[in-house]
Amino acid sequence: MNKRFLSTIAIAGAAALALTACSSDSDADPGATGDGGSGDTITVGFAQTGAESGWRAANTESMENAFSEANGFELIFNAADNDPAAQISAVRNFINQGVDAIVIAPVVEDGWDDVLEEAKEAGIPVILEDRTVSASEDLYASWVGLDFHAEGVKAGEWAAEQYGDTATKMVVLEGTTGSAPANDRAAGFAEAIEGTQIEQIATQTGDFTRDGGKSVMEGYIAQYGIDGIDLVFAHNDDMGLGAIEAIEAAGGTPGEDIKIITIDAVKDGMQALVDGKINYIVECNPLLGDKAAELVKQVIAGESVDKSYYVEDQAFDQAAAAEVIDTRPY
Ligand code: GYE
């Protein structure tokens, strides 16, 4: 696989630059074709997962900004409420509507072969953003997203370094079952803590939502007690924020009695890190819209593109979060 890191996108200032560069390119397109009429508009069906998290809200906004009318697009937006079957039928609707291109943030990895085959037969290119699929690479044009496995490794390495030498009981708040980030973050984290004294005593899905994280954490506290849990690894900030609520409601102090590691680095998560309620956050950059829009234009123009584009992520402890929190774009 051709790994290309778009490291500039990870930096707030550079992200703004990337956006400028992209929109001026896009603005130039209608003029460049000479007729400037509505025939230039690229109709794109975007099948979003849903609205489960702060990360997702930032990702949707990034996509809507990039696939704007001013940039030459008509965007047909669908959010599937994290239901894989609903998302597949949304994609099928896009095919029936005869859109020019389809962009998908796949809820889960499996189950895509048939509908991707149908899009291919209809001659409609598919670009994936954010999550990956298990289907053959021949069935889509390109993908832009994050290295979820590396995120899990980073989170696990920090846990190993901080807590690996003492007996540590860990509970996990998993993302949506069957989703690429839940699978890959779990695997990466497990590899990084192997051989340490961190013991995973329970793992359950909280569906990437704050409510889900809260109720799973309430269950863990009921079963093990505040004193029986040393560490929470939450696959995203929102579930970690839900865990904070559950710990506080049970009379515990999040970040102290129970340490918390999360992934995403969205505003609320970073604030909790600065406040000492979360101990470490690995970033997952949701600003994928510009690259996705650029890929759609390139693919429609018949230009060759790579199969995958990785955006680089950072990681933050409390001090690092305090330094950047005011300048973060999401
Ligand atoms: O971490 C989570 C969101 O797919 C990377 O989905 C994304 C994940 C993100 O709901 O907050």
Residue with tokens 């409510």: 211
Q: What is the pLDDT, as a whole number, of residue 36?
A: 38
Looking at the structure, give the CATH architecture of the domain made up of residues 11-146+285-313. Answer: 3-Layer(aba) Sandwich (3.40)
Report the separation in Å between the CA atom of 56 and the middle of ligand 1, taken as the mean of its atom positions: 6
Task: Give the residues surrounding ligand 1 with Cβ less than 6 Å away.
Answer: 52-53, 55-56, 130-131, 181, 208, 236, 238, 263-264, 284
Print pLDDT tens along the chain (330 aa).
444 445 434 333 333 333 333 333 333 333 333 333 445 899 999 999 999 999 999 999 999 999 999 999 999 999 999 999 999 999 999 999 999 999 999 999 999 999 999 999 999 999 999 999 999 999 999 999 999 999 999 999 999 999 999 999 999 999 999 999 999 999 999 999 999 999 999 999 999 999 999 999 999 999 999 999 999 999 999 999 999 999 999 999 999 999 999 999 999 999 999 999 999 999 999 999 999 999 999 999 999 999 999 999 999 999 999 999 999 999
Q: Which residues contact 247 (CB under 8 A, 6 or more apart)?
A: 217, 221, 226, 253, 254, 257, 258
Q: How far apart are the first and last CA of the chain?
A: 30
User: What is the CA(32)–ligand 1 centre distance, in A?
Assistant: 37
Q: For position 40, what pLDDT does the model report?
A: 86
Domain ranges, ordered by start, for the chain:
11-146+285-313, 148-283
| Ligand 1 nearest-atom number relative to CA 266 | 11
Question: Which residue's C-alpha comes closest to atom 8 of ligand 1?
Answer: 181
d(CA 41, CA 37): 8
Superfamily name and number for 148-283: Response regulator (3.40.50.2300)
What would the two tokens of residue 90 be? Answer: 């949304």
Model's pTM, two decimal places? Answer: 0.90
Q: Could you identify the residue written with the tokens 């950072």?
A: 314
**Is the Cβ–Cβ distance between 102 and 45 less than 8 Å?**
yes
One-letter amino acid of 155: A
Handedness of CA 29, 35, 37, 40 (dihedral sign): negative
Q: Which atom of ligand 1 is nearest to the CA of 55?
A: 11
pLDDT, position 297: 98
Distance of CA 208 from the midpoint of ligand 1 (Å): 7
For 33, 42, 115, 135, 142, the CA distances from 298, given in Å and listed in that order, are 14, 12, 23, 22, 10
Q: What is the pLDDT of residue 5?
A: 47
Mutate which of 49, 52, 55 for ligand 1? The one with the most ligand atoms within 8 Å of its CB, which is 55
Q: What is the Å distance from ligand 1's center to 53 Cα?
A: 7
Asked if domains 11-146+285-313 and 148-283 share a fold, the reply is yes
How many angstroms separate the alpha carbon of residue 167 from the centre of ligand 1?
Answer: 30
Indicate the top mutation candidate among 48, 49, 52, 56 to test ligand 1's pocket, ranked by most ligand atoms within 8 A of CB: 56
pLDDT of residue 39: 58
Ligand 1 centroid to Cα of residue 31, in Å, is 37
User: How confident is the model at residue 24, as a pLDDT?
Assistant: 34
pLDDT for 20: 32
* Count of positions (residues) in the chain: 330
Angle separating helix axes 180-193 and 148-163, nearest 10 degrees: 30
DSSP states along 296-325: HHHHHTT----SEEEEP--EE-HHHHHHHG
